[in-house]
Amino acid sequence: MADKKQNRRNNRNNDEDYNPKFRKIRKKVCPMCANKDFVLDYKNADQLRKFINDKGKILPRRATGACAKHQRDITTAVKRARHIAVLPYSEN
């Protein structure tokens, strides 16, 4: 624990780019905008599994990387899939 703190302090001094407030700024590209052939299908469980966690909850945008428009599509698709029992409402 103390080592970690020490390490962080050293990092700040040695590495000018290091700023804990802006760690790893990696712009995610929306998977659906990037791939024009990608068609979101609410009957395709394997596809939708990528957008839910192990509890069956829909992942947030920061995790899926989807843009607002496509995140909305994902949400709708997952909810439709749940309704027709392709996906679970909850697991465990």
Query: Minimum CB separation from Zn ion for residue 71, in Å?
Result: 8
**Cβ-contact 62, 24 below 8 angstroms:** no
Residues near Zn ion (CB under 5 A): 30, 32-33, 67, 70
Query: Minimum CB separation from Zn ion for residue 26, in Å?
Result: 17
Name the residue nearer to Zn ion (CB basis): 66 or 86. 66
Name the residue nearer to Zn ion (CB basis): 52 or 64. 64
Classify residue 57 as left (phi > 0), alpha (psi -120 to 50) or beta: beta
Three-state secondary structure call for residue 83: helix
